[in-house]
């Protein structure tokens, strides 16, 4: 089963967290996962993926403009509609708008007919409500949460789509 993580990253922080999610996804047997920038992704891999996770840095308490543009234009043609989707964010400081950015992404996913998965606040520690958020001053502190999110997303995709 293929899973894709699509992100926009200017500083490299969001890319780093995307790679942590992929690391968690590939811990699940039978999963092939890859991370791609929204400016350079393998369209056929995304088309074949059962789930897509979208990531953005936070600017002005919102998703980055390139991610917004991607969701308004390219996402529909890239094979995202109807898939299992999730979202994550990186921010420069606590309460910088990470949850707001995730909510924006998830709303686009819902409009495209996607199933959305938050990461499972009911699954215990780490509690991931809408999707994971990392603060850029110490990304390594947040890496385990992002890996757990990836594992949970992969397990959920397998449960939903594998027979």
Are the C-beta atoms of residues 111 and 75 closer than 8 Å to each other?
no
pLDDT at 94: 87
- Domains in the chain, ordered, with CATH? 2-161 (3.40.50.360)
What are 67's two structure tokens? 């991610």
Query: What pLDDT does residue 56 have?
Result: 98
Helix (H) or strand (E) holding 60: none
Low-confidence ranges of the chain (pLDDT < 50): none
What average pLDDT does the chain have?
Answer: 94
Helix H or strand E encompassing 14: helix 13-25
Residues 6+ apart with CB under 8 A from 79: 43, 46, 47, 48, 49
């Amino acid at each position: 089963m293929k899973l894709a993580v699509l992100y926009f990253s200017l500083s490299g922080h969001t890319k780093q967290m995307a790679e942590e999610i992929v690391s968690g996804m590939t811990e699940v047997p039978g999963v092939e996962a890859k991370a791609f920038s929204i400016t350079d992704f393998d369209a056929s891999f995304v088309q074949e993926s059962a789930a897509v996770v979208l990531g953005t840095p936070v600017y002005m308490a919102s998703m980055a403009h390139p991610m917004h543009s991607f969701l308004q234009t390219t996402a529909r043609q890239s094979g995202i509609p109807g898939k299992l989707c999730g979202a994550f964010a990186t921010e420069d400081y606590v309460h910088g708008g990470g949850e707001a950015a995730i909510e924006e992404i998830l709303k686009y996913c819902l409009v495209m007919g996607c199933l959305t998965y938050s990461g499972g606040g009911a699954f215990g520690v780490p509690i991931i409500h809408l999707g994971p958020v990392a603060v850029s001053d110490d990304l390594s502190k947040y890496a385990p949460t992002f890996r757990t999110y990836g594992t949970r997303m992969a397990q959920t995709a397998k449960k939903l789509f594998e027979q």
